[in-house]
Structure 1
Amino acid sequence: MQIFAGQLRDRWGIQGPIILLSIVFAGCSPSTPEESEWSWVSPLPQGNWIRAIWGSGSTDVYCVGALGTMMHYNGSTWSIVDSGTSNTLNGIWGSGPADVFVVGDQGTILHYNGSAWSVMSSGTGLSIDGVWGSGSSDVYAVSGTSVLRYNGGGWYATDPGVTEPLYAIGGSGFGDTFAVGANGTIVHFDGVSYTSMNSGATEDLTAVWSPEPGRAVAAGINGVILHYNGSNWSTKVSGPASYLYGLWGSGSADIFAVGLGGTILRYNGLTWESTSSGVRSHLLAVWGTWAGDVFAVGSGGTILHYDGSTWSSMAGGLRALYRIRGVGATDAFAVGEAGRILRCDGSAWLAQSSGTGIALWGVWGQAANNVLAVGDDGTIVRYNGSAWSAMNSGTTDDLVDVWGSEASDVFAVGDKGRIVYYNGSTWSAMNSGSIVDLHGVWGSSATNVFTVGDSGTILHYNGSAWASMNSGTSEPLWAIWGNSEYDIYAVGRTIQHYDGWTWSTVYTSLSFLMGVWCRGPNDVWAVAASGEVLHYDGVTWATVDSPTTNALYGVWGDGAGDVFVVGDGGTILRRNASATASN
């Protein structure tokens, strides 16, 4: 099943979650001391999407997700488990602590026997989207229009007689299994044969849960919730029209449903009511031991816990970061959603109060006590070494990026061809000669400045006026950076290179490249909305293994040779200098 990845960003037209501000952050160091190529700096322990959760008890809980992500909770801390696969894991269920099944993409099935994980043969190469069982020798999984069954000896495919793909499976016990899927599809298995059921719904159903024989609940897109009374399915009003992806309950009169945008609904036996999750992350699964010990998981490594009265964050749930830039030898700043600003002083990433709740898209600084960040509605804030304060930009147009040759020569660019200039005392409008949205700005000097934007737009400033250049592409360009006036890169669907005379296409990507940064002519980095990371060694562009599928928006490297990337879910990844040098 293809889960909707989030609301479309107005700015960049790509998918990504909208999530809650955090006030505690990890250090600049990697999450582990090993010399791995990439390590999570934020969030911790990791920030990939979590798609399923299950446990044998409150001190033995597993969750699984994107790129083979697996974590275990021992009652006090979450730790990363090596799943042995990079395939996305979609479902988990077990009969006990020494009998756990995990399913995922490309026919992946893993089994845990209490001491080690092993690969099981599924007999399919298709995605397996959900798993449930009534016991150790009666386990079911859904894959396309098939239901896979495990009888204690091996997995084999069964035909439920459906034409629509199935997305989830659940039941109350042996001989009482429900599978749900696209366009309201529901089938029931009584231990001998499958029976198609009339759901009365046309929406895709993405979750199913059964508290007891003759009772079941299914949920799906547009907030649809169906109840089964042993004879018929009926539609219940769920409240918010959110996509719902997970169901679990402590009993027939106490059921939780979770979905996009931090949606959590609770059923009290009569009505479904919305409850505050405290986050805007997308929640994809829910599970608990009882009504006072419930977990919900989702985008950006989000893990929430409910203690019977309130939901609290255990991990993730951070707002997106859009740009990162270094200032001086030890300082770096990252800016993002809802006015979020982080500063790294060489040892730790710390949150700073920006004084605004408006999205900040770009950051640049001349020194650690003179940093500028720009954002929506013409927002410009300045850091003087101790606090951020608002500046008058003279415009209400969104500003997306900022760059300067020095403290008194700064350019900010944004929507509708807007360019404003700072001379060290005031901001004033410049005539760009364009009305297209501009997304990035960089220069090699005060008289050699470039800005890029929609429709392949590249404008050049020679110290007196802006003029249009032939970029060689009609695709949007999202960022620009260079090594010198003769070696500049602009990125979008393609990578355009400027040699001082002409722009030419040097690479074509399958994803939107959102950020670019250069350490030198043989060390150039670009990041993509798909989580892809590219590196140029002076000869070729090559994909560098990335530990995430989160959208990545910005990249920067420090003087020690480390590289940092930022993105959705508060993602900060660090690639250590030794890995970078060997790339």
Structure 2
Amino acid sequence: MTTVAVSRRALFRGRFAGNSLSHAWHPVGGETPTVDGVFWGGWADKTGTFLVGDKGTVFHFDGTVWARMNVPVPVPLHALWGNNRNELWAVGWMGAILRYDGRAWHRVRGCRVDGAGKYAAHPENTPLFAIDGQTGGTAFTVGDDGMILRWSGVLWEAENSGTRAHLRAVLCLSDGRVLAAGHGGIVLLRSLEGDWNSLACSVSTGFTAALEIAPGTVLLAGGRYFAAENGFRGDLVLLEEDRFERLFPDASLPRLRDLAVMEDEDGVLVAGDRGMIRRLTEEGPAPVESGTSHDLHGLVPAPGGGVLAVGDFGTILSNGPPPKEAPAICGLEKTSSWRRLDSGTEHTLWGVWRDPKSGTAYACGESGTVLVEDRDKWVPLPKVGPVGLRALARAPEGGLLAAGEQGKVYHFDGRSWRCEFDLMPNTTLLALWSDDAGTVFAAGDEGLILHRDSAGWRRAVSGTKNALYGLWGPDDRHLLAVGDFGLVLRWNGTDWKAFNAGTERFLFGVWGRGLNDIFVVGLAGTLGHFDGTRWRISAARARHDLLAVAGTEDAAFAVGSSGAAMSHDGNRWISEPTGVESGLRAVTAVGGVVLAAGDGGCLLRREAAD
């Protein structure tokens, strides 16, 4: 715990306003650890830095090299605290409490398993999210269901919080009292006698962080969900002498995650969703350019005044002096590589495809819309009809195939459209795949798969009633179809069989360079990769659904809701700004050019090598 010795009036009278930070946010020095999951928090001293994250991740940085430490449990670790590096505590999922003695990490509590080796339904496995302590070594950790544990120097003991609310922040105050806060605006204060009492906070928000800015004065940060806005709104609340005041109520803030002191800048930082970092000023939380759009979950103050910001997809940023050669890091794209094109339509575009042979690009969408790229302009082809079109592919005999609503497949011969196949039932086709030898596959709602070969069109047995959204394959004997609840089907040239990817998230897109290098994307930012042996699914913690994926020999690209776009550089996924808020529903990458299409006729172009 760090206390800033300033009064409330001094904090907000412009003391921190006017000057920009002495250093911009940038990647930390050294070889950055490769983590597709989340970093939640950390701890630092003059010797180095510890960071904790998903899957039992603990990294140590000695100023030059990041090293992954051996940890006895594979669960997410949410917070770190200690008086020195020879006695550190980490807390996390399944009630995990780990202790570092300067040499190794040891499990002290939590992560109990039953006779089958699965985590047991036991009070000791209640998830923990925050920890803080006092100079003498006494520490407190908090979590779900009002859980509060106290380290007495001998063992961890549960204390009666008097609430079942989920607690997400704990803070040891300079006068010996302890504050805990969490969901529903709950704020608890532990007296010197050891009793926890609830304070009457008028702001019903979900608190995630607390910082003592002067003796007895606490700044709280969090956020609450608003259904009408389909998102979170951040809150800053000041607690002074048992009185609560919501600060800057007119400021438009995303959900806030953490607070930290900038000792060398004499101020306070707040970090949150969508890469937001703000510096408190008299006028309000002043924006600070972070260079990332990833959610930031933790701020880690370091001796000497620097601060690290950590978050989704292994993001690690620093506002200290930049290294001589800053390595590439997830999410550091300050300017957009995507350029918006004039599609000439406001209809939603569900598909985009570039013919790898001719280089001609097409897009399709609502009301039978089909567009073709003609010398940097997009012009409409004759409409198919009133039906919505979802996917495009090359017709083996020449021309273009389109499929969509009502289970129909259409063929364009360069002059007009004709219905090539009509399944009759009102089942939407969502994906198409074809080769040059006369084979075509189509997939869609209710597990529908259609197969065309030299014998004509027929319905294939998929073995599922779940929707199938994406198709990809290197040849007509090796295809994948992806869909609801993590469904992956594999075609072996004869039949379709389930191929377990290890997730229950809806999968909307699939693409690969070969059978040992396949990507899938889906609901809530789900990202998966198959290396020929096993699937690896990244933690689904992104704000946006990812709806499509495509790529080149050197990079992969995924797009999704609210203008989300990401690229994979062979090492990790990088979030990219697109400059649009429209949902992006399709992407194609051929010949060094990436095209994305989506809502309101949105069309974007990106050079693959950018």
TM-score when scaled to structure 2? 0.63
Q: Which stretch shifts more, 449-458 or 61-70?
A: 449-458
* CA distance in 1 between partners of 2:87 and 2:388 (Å): 54
SS for the counterpart of 2:209 is strand
- Paired position in structure 2 for 1:450: 441
Does the C-alpha gap of structure 1 residues 178 and 550 become closer, same or farther in structure 2, counting only changes over 3 Å? closer
Which string of whole-angstrom CA distances, capped at 9 and with x for unpartnered residues, describes residues 33-91 of structure 1?
Answer: xxxxxxxxxx863332211132124x522222122223333345545444443211111
- Paired position in structure 1 for 2:135: 135
Higher strand residue share: 1
Which string of whole-angstrom CA distances, capped at 9 and with x for unpartnered residues, describes residues 277-307 of structure 1?
Answer: 2322111111324795222111122222224
Q: How does 1:357-506 map to 2 (within 5 A)?
A: 366=356, 394=381, 404=394, 439-445=430-436, 447-458=438-449, 473-482=464-473, 485=476, 488-493=479-484, 494-496=487-489
- Paired position in structure 2 for 1:273: 286
- Paired position in structure 1 for 2:228: none
Q: Which stretch shifts more, 116-125 or 492-501?
A: 492-501
* CA distance in 1 between partners of 2:296 and 2:277 (Å): 8
Q: How does 1:172-211 map to 2 (within 5 A)?
A: 172-173=173-174, 175-191=176-192, 192-211=194-213
* CA distance in 2 between partners of 1:574 and 1:275 (Å): 28
Which string of whole-angstrom CA distances, capped at 9 and with x for unpartnered residues, describes residues 388-447 of structure 1?
Answer: 977767599999876558897666778999989898xx8987758799876533224453
- Paired position in structure 1 for 2:116: none
* CA distance in 1 between partners of 2:361 and 2:267 (Å): 50
* CA distance in 2 between partners of 1:414 and 1:44 (Å): 43
Which string of whole-angstrom CA distances, capped at 9 and with x for unpartnered residues, describes residues 82-111 of structure 1?
Answer: 444321111112212333221111122222
2:217 is aligned with 1:229: no
- Paired position in structure 1 for 2:171: 170
**Contact 1:45 1:78 (C-alpha < 8 Å) held by counterparts:** no
**Where in structure 2 are there 5+ consecutive unaligned residues?**
1-25, 112-123, 224-232, 344-348, 560-564, 573-610
2:217 is aligned with 1:215: yes
Q: Which stretch shifts more, 46-55 or 475-484?
A: 475-484
* CA distance in 1 between partners of 2:315 and 2:202 (Å): 33
2:91 is aligned with 1:103: yes
* CA distance in 2 between partners of 1:83 and 1:555 (Å): 36
- Paired position in structure 2 for 1:54: 43
- Paired position in structure 2 for 1:511: 505
**Contact 1:128 1:141 (C-alpha < 8 Å) held by counterparts:** yes
Q: How does 1:193-342 map to 2 (within 5 A)?
A: 193-221=195-223, 222-237=233-248, 239-250=251-262, 254-268=267-281, 271-289=284-302, 293-307=306-320, 315-317=329-331
Percent identity, aligned pairs only?
21
* CA distance in 1 between partners of 2:95 and 2:76 (Å): 10
Q: Give the AA of the match of 2:147.
A: S
**Contact 1:48 1:299 (C-alpha < 8 Å) held by counterparts:** yes
Does the C-alpha gap of structure 1 residues 362 and 356 become closer, same or farther in structure 2, counting only changes over 3 Å? same
- Paired position in structure 1 for 2:8: none
* CA distance in 1 between partners of 2:273 and 2:539 (Å): 20
**Where in structure 1 are there 5+ consecutive unaligned residues?**
1-23, 26-30, 33-42, 320-336, 341-353, 383-387, 538-542, 576-583
* CA distance in 2 between partners of 1:200 and 1:163 (Å): 19
* CA distance in 1 between partners of 2:354 and 2:475 (Å): 18
Does the C-alpha gap of structure 1 residues 497 and 80 become closer, same or farther in structure 2, counting only changes over 3 Å? closer
Does the C-alpha gap of structure 1 residues 93 and 467 become closer, same or farther in structure 2, counting only changes over 3 Å? same
SS for the counterpart of 1:301 is coil
- Paired position in structure 1 for 2:230: none
For the aligned residue pairs, the C-alpha RMSD in angstroms reads 5.2
User: What's the CA shift for 1:453?
Assistant: 3.7
Q: Give the AA of the match of 1:244.
A: L
* CA distance in 2 between partners of 1:277 and 1:519 (Å): 33
SS for the counterpart of 1:90 is strand
Q: Which stretch shifts more, 241-250 or 428-437?
A: 428-437
**Contact 1:457 1:471 (C-alpha < 8 Å) held by counterparts:** yes
SS for the counterpart of 2:252 is coil
* CA distance in 1 between partners of 2:388 and 2:37 (Å): 30
* CA distance in 1 between partners of 2:341 and 2:69 (Å): 39
TM-score when scaled to structure 1? 0.66
* CA distance in 1 between partners of 2:507 and 2:444 (Å): 13
> In terms of Rg, which structure is larger?
2
User: What's the CA shift for 1:152?
Assistant: 2.2
Aligned length: 487
* CA distance in 1 between partners of 2:106 and 2:83 (Å): 16
SS for the counterpart of 1:47 is coil
